Structure 1
Amino acid sequence: MKSTSLAAATTVVVLAASLAACSAPGGGDDAAASSITIWHNSADSPAVLDLYERFEAETGIAVELVDIPSDAFESTTTTKWATGDRPDILEYHPVKSALLPLNPAANMQDLSDLPFVEKSGDLYPAMGTVDGVVYAAITGFPSIFGVYYNKQVLADAGLEPPTSFEDLQSICDGLAGSGVAPIYESGGSAWPTQILPLLYGSEFNAGDEYGSAVAANERPLTEPDGPFVKGLEAYASLRDNGCFNADATSGTFENAITAVYDGTAALTALHSDVYASFLAAAGDDAALLDETVGFVPVSATEPVVAYAGGPIGTFYAPKTGDAAREAAAIQFIEFATGAGYQDLVDAGPAFPVIDGVTTPDDFSELQLAFKAAYDDGAAVAFNSNIAGFGGFATETTKLLAGQTTPAEAADSMQAQVEQASKAAGLPGW
């Protein structure tokens, strides 16, 4: 297995072009493919990297890895894709808002009839599916969005972990003058600023009801009393009431993790995929981390988390025009979701999303909290299947900085969704 390094990220485009040449139409249709190319996230876990190696050993098909830098993952992938370059396997987000720009009907193989689909419960069609066709093979447990909290900080102040936005404000009031930031916000990283407004709407999106209505142009994001505007207003209220850290507009999610672990902040809204970073803050001592940090669901008035499929371990099989390599790509997906799946889950360890394998032991208390929140009525993040939502983090970061109002942010997002939906020719637009 060959891979570029992070240090060589600037050579990725050149390498990808040479590898794509191996996938040109007519190159090997009459014989089994000897290799496949995978565009993969440079932040792939050791378990996923091991999956690639085990596929090589099992099949004799060489895996050529092309690193897509994790810190510019979406933009790098879409830029390369727009040039017409194609891998045999693409590791990417399963949410429709990310999938639609890739034009899956024209560019992706249909995976609907593969065995993993029926074995994945109700994960599909909420993820990786467009117009009833499954294009993604999801092997990883979804990203769970909620609130991390420092147990000792809350206990010392006589406060309970939050379950609602009213609770967030109560914690803010209860920690006033304590020197502890009630909520650490990460405007410098930008992407975390969208989490709290999205969490507000989780309880309104059972069965993707609200998100589907917005995607079909049945409900505008600009509804004055709708979940979207109310979530933005609740976020602005927390800002105005001094609930965030003093450097909220420049703070980073890495600093949020450190602050909550150290107790200089009480809470932060992030997703479950940063668990490894919290563990590192605790010196890789899972028991110590469990003693220090908890995780809870929070929405407008009820404890409901939002979830979304992540890119790590989510695979697509693009159409390359080379029948042999397309068949080898399907072979990889069958291995990743079949014969190789138990080892992938064990190596994580990870909670399985495909039936028929055994769940590993020895999960930490914090990891079990993610699973419990998911099992207890989690709702898919309502923006997951709405086209044109890529600019939301920009809008919430501007809102955090006082550069826009909730109504203006909603107007901007409605315009972006309308433009993207019309461009994609979606029903209702």
Structure 2
Amino acid sequence: MKMFTKSRLMAVIATSAALSMALAGCSNPTADSSSESDTGAQDYWPTATQKLDGVELTMWVAQNSNKIPVKVVSDFEKATGATVKLETIPDPYEQNVQTKTTTGDTPDLAFWQPTQSMLAGFIAQDKLQKLDNAPWVDNYTDGIADAGGVVDGTRYAALVSTPPVMGVFYNKKVFEKAGITDIPKGWDGYVEAAKKIKDADIDGVESPLFEMGGSQWGTQYSVQIQLAEAAQDGLWDRVNSGKEKFTDDTIQTAISNYKSLFDEGLYNKNAGSAKDTDEAQALWDGKTGMIICVNSLFNQIAALASNDKAALDETIGFFPLSSEGNIGTVIPEQNNSVVAFKTGDSKKEAAARQFINYWMTEDYATFVKDQGIVSVIKGVDTPDNVPQALLDSADSIKDSVGSMQSLAVANPDLYINLADMINGTKSPGDVAKATQDQFAQLAKAQGVQGF
């Protein structure tokens, strides 16, 4: 699970020859002769429901996203006469997709994480269609257009749902028993709330905080949220150019702050081995007070609650958190967005753009209702059964900042190094050095200047 947050070195090695063509900013070095800027937006974006009898498209999906477009596909086929085949690519999805495309196997469409680090390889190889001036972009709700899919001013991905926000999901009943009446502000406020929960010695609460070191993927969030203000101030631009490193004060301090919470006994005793399922269960059961995570973990909690909105709203809340305040950090996932590939068949390429246009315009209200998700299009209402925690998460996007995955040119295995730290095999300094070394190696493979 969560392979979209784990860009691995082996995947980059598989595409290193293509990645070496990338410019310092991962911009596309090859002009797109069929771009909408050449042909005009009206011609480039086919009418959503125009007939496509006999046209067959293939869309690659992951195991955790293969049900999402089923109804959209069915509706599109009925409206246009086209055929869209959904092909599930085994996990690890990103690695397998990169390998297949490198060997020449290319779909018409695919779910893909719309971050700079994950789009870079395809852009370098000139494999993606440009989605500039898409008919729906001006109708995105606040913050969505900037939340992902754009690299160097060009849009390559369409966000079909709200991207997750790194923040704090908390048990309202635990807060009440601990006497916490105000939402914690900043890292110090968060730590103060955790200590207050611990000192309250509440029956049934085993730890104020919970971590999933056994699953690993969630460990990075507690570090990344501390970097929000720095990210607003250009942290990742400096890291991308080699002017700042993971071993320098800003990121190193965030890692050390995270480690100090374990040293103070604020986390679960089995933090090194606990799984994401354990974390979801602990928050729902009130065995812990707070977790720093993203929407997918909340979805596990919702399943435990049988998706009972009233029960979820009564028990689980959400607030964004940053070093100094309450700024959210956005990390789009592959199931949030769709890309269209260049295949050399202009008719199919246009049909792929038409499918995305249909999804985001003609069929979007139906899609949102079918999936029970927060709408990203103005004028399309979010269903009444969406829990308040997800509404609050989505609302924070308008004031958020991008994650490492969104803003850095490469995505090193920070989460694995942090899991090693939790399990005692790396110090905070070791984590920063290992992450920096891998980041530099990945950046160098892409031909990024400064490495």
Give the TM bin, normalised by the shorter chain.
Answer: 0.7 to 0.9
Shift of 1:88: 0.6
- From 82, 87, 91, give the equivalent of 2:102: 82
Q: How does 1:163-174 map to 2 (within 5 A)?
A: 163-174=185-196
- From 204, 218, 235, give the equivalent of 1:210: 235
| 1:79-118 Cα deviation digits (max 9, x unpaired) | 3333321111011100111111333551111111322334
SS class of match (2:335): coil
| 1:287-314 Cα deviation digits (max 9, x unpaired) | 1111111112222231222112221141
Q: How does 1:190-201 map to 2 (within 5 A)?
A: 190-201=216-227
Q: How does 1:252-291 map to 2 (within 5 A)?
A: 252-291=275-314
SS class of match (2:301): helix
Q: CA contact under 8 A between 1:144 and 1:272: conserved in structure 2?
A: yes
Provide the residue aligned with 1:155 in structure 2. 176
Q: Percent identity?
A: 28
Q: CA contact under 8 A between 1:104 and 1:135: conserved in structure 2?
A: no
Structure 2, unpaired ranges of 5+: 1-51
TM-score by length of 2: 0.81
Residues matched between the structures, number: 394
* Residue identity matched to 2:153: G
- From 57, 64, 82, give the equivalent of 1:36: 57
Structure 1 vs Structure 2 CA RMSD: 2.4
* Residue identity matched to 2:217: W
* Residue identity matched to 2:239: V
SS class of match (1:94): coil
Shift of 1:32: 6.9
SS class of match (1:145): strand
Structure 1 Cα separation of the partners of residues 143 and 189 of structure 2: 31
Provide the residue aligned with 2:3 in structure 1. none
Q: CA contact under 8 A between 1:47 and 1:347: conserved in structure 2?
A: no
Structure 1 stretches of 4+ moved >4 Å: 176-179
| 1:5-28 Cα deviation digits (max 9, x unpaired) | xxxxxxxxxxxxxxxxxxxxxxxx
Structure 2 Cα separation of the partners of residues 104 and 352 of structure 1: 32
Provide the residue aligned with 1:102 in structure 2. 122
- The more displaced of 272-281 and 49-58 is 272-281
Shift of 1:214: 2.0
Provide the residue aligned with 2:317 in structure 1. 294
Structure 2 Cα separation of the partners of residues 126 and 370 of structure 1: 13
Structure 2 Cα separation of the partners of residues 237 and 217 of structure 1: 28
| Structure 2 CA distance for partners of 1:378 and 1:131, relative to 1, 3 Å | closer
Structure 2 Cα separation of the partners of residues 32 and 108 of structure 1: 24
| 1:17-73 Cα deviation digits (max 9, x unpaired) | xxxxxxxxxxxxxx975211110122227553211211111111111111134x533
SS class of match (1:218): coil
Structure 1 Cα separation of the partners of residues 381 and 175 of structure 2: 36
Shift of 1:210: 2.0
SS class of match (1:266): strand
Provide the residue aligned with 1:23 in structure 2. none
Shift of 1:382: 3.6
Q: CA contact under 8 A between 2:309 and 2:387: conserved in structure 1?
A: yes
Structure 1 Cα separation of the partners of residues 437 and 139 of structure 2: 38
Structure 2 Cα separation of the partners of residues 415 and 40 of structure 1: 32
* Residue identity matched to 1:222: T
